[in-house]
Structure 1
Amino acid sequence: MKRRKWTICLLAMAVALGVSGCGRGNTVAAAEPLMLQAGPIQPVEPKRSQLIGEKESTIEYAAPLAYVLAYPHLSNEVIDNQILQFIDGLKTDFAQKYDLKDEKEKKRLSQEDCNSFLYLDYDSYIVSEDKICIIFYETQELEQKISPTEQKTNTVERVHIFHFNTKTGERISEDSLRKDGFLEAVSAYVIRYFTENEPYKDRIFGDYRKTLAPDAGRFNRFALNDKGVLLFFERYDIFPGSLGRVELLVPYSELAGLLNGVGIEAPPVVEEKEPEVKEPTEKIDRVIDPTKPMVALTFDDGPKPSSTERILDALEKNHAVATFFDLGKLVEAYPDTVKRELALGCEVGSHSYSHKNFNTLSPEAINEDVKKTAAAFQKAVGFEPTLFRPPYGNCNDTVKKHIPMAMVTWSIDTLDWKTKSPDAIMKLIRSEGNLDGKVILMHGIYETSAEATEKLVPYLIKQGYQLVTVSEMAKYRHDGKLEDGKLYGYSYFQ
């Protein structure tokens, strides 16, 4: 953009804001945010920044530099001083990089000779009773003269995040906000979201599972609002530059108990009130016809008595079975529910002990998890699992080498963990067309998934499908017995 055009833009901003005065730049309070750039992509829901304090806007020319800065004034001296120090630091760094060293030449410049622009805008959020978050969006636009008639503009964008305690004025570090397990949960959510949703799933590039791994350092910085954790991915981070800066909200419901004093606290599992575990009213006598269509329902992350028992009720009522991939720690907590799963003729496999991302674990950690889970099953139901569903479906070469069980994923993901809607789950299943030979992924820990199962099981039977276990599916519809140490994934169950 030509310098003259930038001058007109800046002057228009100044007029619109009613700028007056002089000194350290022209500064006024503004009722509306000063929009300096297109808003970042928000794939989960619209961002609703809360106006905290009064908005201050500064426009300053110091050719060849120009500044257009917006920031909040909170009437909290400790916080306001930290914000002003941050802004002064930005300006100092910018000037050191791009200001002219020759003072005589600098004095000859006019406002129209500004060719290096520093912009600052912000969002602010009330996180909790004593916490706020301020996100500053910095943009540097640097004009470079290529020829007497042509210019090139280079743009640098950065995000700066501040959390403050409103009672003390002290800045709160992200390290002090997150608990153990936070990085793993965020990593899993981000990978699943970007690989399952438009416009991201077909545009994510590079070794993104490594880039977005819990220990890759990408989630150490984050912002909080009243709905969840905001993450920022700069241009060319993991997507083409055409998507610009990508912003993703991880809802607090996905991070229960993993943040200090923020969001949803997860109640201890042992405190959940267990409903009465029912004994099957009759022994289910099933005959499988290999010539007829069949489908396998699978349920991860349980058992959770309230929802899992509803799922078992639906199966028993319809003389049907499913495969449950249960967590070792919950098998220990709710052995009676696991026993009922088996009594109904269902298949029960391992989903690890506590749902860690196995792609990030060492061989020693994988072996330890396998042993711990096997011991939990042995104590609860008298046998060790022979099937394993890797958490998040993650199964790299190291995982395959150290899991002494057949590894099973799925061919249809109902996204029940995301939609929490029985109607959405049913709609997705209907849209899949022919289900013969398919393995359907659901989760046994959501009441909405249990409600969907109550509709789905009779629907599938009415459509002519036999409900079978994963092992039965392999035997009758594919190529036989599931073997230890092998991965049976999406392509296998097609």
Structure 2
Amino acid sequence: MQFIHKVYMVLALLVLILIGLVFTPVVMNQEKSRQLKATEEVTQSAYPGIDIVTEVVEEQDYYKAIHYPVFKQERLNIEINNYVAEETAVFLDEVNDQRDVLKERDWQAVFHLTFDIHALNDGVYALVFSSDSLVAGANGRQMAKVFMLDVEEGDYILGEALVKDSQDTRKAIYEGVLAELEASPAYKDLYFHDMLEEWIETTNFSNLYLKEDALVFTFDKYEITAGAAGSPDIELPLESFLHVLNPSWVSRLQLETEAMETENAEPDDTVINQDDDASEKAGDAVTAERHVVALTFDDGPHPENTSKALQLLEKYQMKATFFMLGSRIDFYPDLVKEVFNQGHEIGNHTWNHKQLTKITDKAIQEEIHSVDQKLQDVIGQPATVFRPPYGATNAHVESFLNVPSVLWTIDTLDWKTKSPESILAEVKTGLKPGAIVLMHDIHETTVEALELILPYLKEQGYTSVQVSEVLEMNK
């Protein structure tokens, strides 16, 4: 009997061990999930009915930044959430497959997923997602996804419902896309006739979206062009292609009226004379004796963190430079105006944070100039300085610029440490007159660090000015 009792004790112990082995990973995964969700932030955008989720995750072997919309209608959220989850899973699977290579090269994989909003009318929007990842290979993965939806109705609008599908329609679209490819210096030597023909024969027009003045077809990398072309967007002028759309949608969206209103609109590529602008902002001559530095912030604006940073800078009477992403400017135009009106400098950090040394000339131009056009609309002038994402630049990239390209002398590593004390320590180590400090106003811990940095600069006799002034000083 005593023997049987001992057997039961051993069996019970084994059961407990097995339960622990089974449920411990579950608990760990749940804890990991909670930590991941803690990095998510939901903020209101400038577009009615659309909030923005921002998720930024940094690990030893990868960096992930995701922006996607949230709607009140759950039906609209399900499809977009599934798309975001699928794209993220593809990236993480590739990271897992290449983990040894990443460790060997001491390389951090990068994943960016963001979107642009094109508002038509009556709550109808086109959302164009851009997914870019670079893991261990020389060529990254670039994918595009289009969603057209009616927020008021809580429903998606399929591309095949927009188009009056027929052989004549497909022929007209094919000839229009072909003509645009032939006329484009970026694409004319990189597209493939057979791939274009296959696309027009099989497409359900899921890659079609409408802007006020154009039908736009967005293609994945390698879909109709060589990889060097990236993910091309082909625009067909609306006034010439209204006949391919269903009459009901032409009437509903009032496209004929809008096409007439925008027919003569041209983008404003005006660039401020940098020398005149710098001299106006600099005021007195900048000298090393003044002990000035430039605090700079990348990847914003962020509706909460940037606002807090502005309050701190005002408190200590210092200026900064905010290198903004075009996609974020589009989401928070009022905040951009506030930054500008408080006397801070606004820099161009590209539209979607793509690595410019790895994309086509056309894509480089779009990444840079689309930001300046948006700033022209929001604050009445383009950016006065530029910072390339990841600091990745070369002479060819610089040839697209009309303003100074600015890197940094102090990398606070705020994205990595998430420690206000460590960020302050990096500033202390590299501090000297004319220093340019790199931070990111998308992180709450960076704003907490700013509360330590600003009084420290004051104690040391330093003040922060716009980076253009420091560039002038360092000439």
When normalised by structure 2's length, the TM-score is: 0.44
Quick check: which has more Rg, 1 or 2?
1
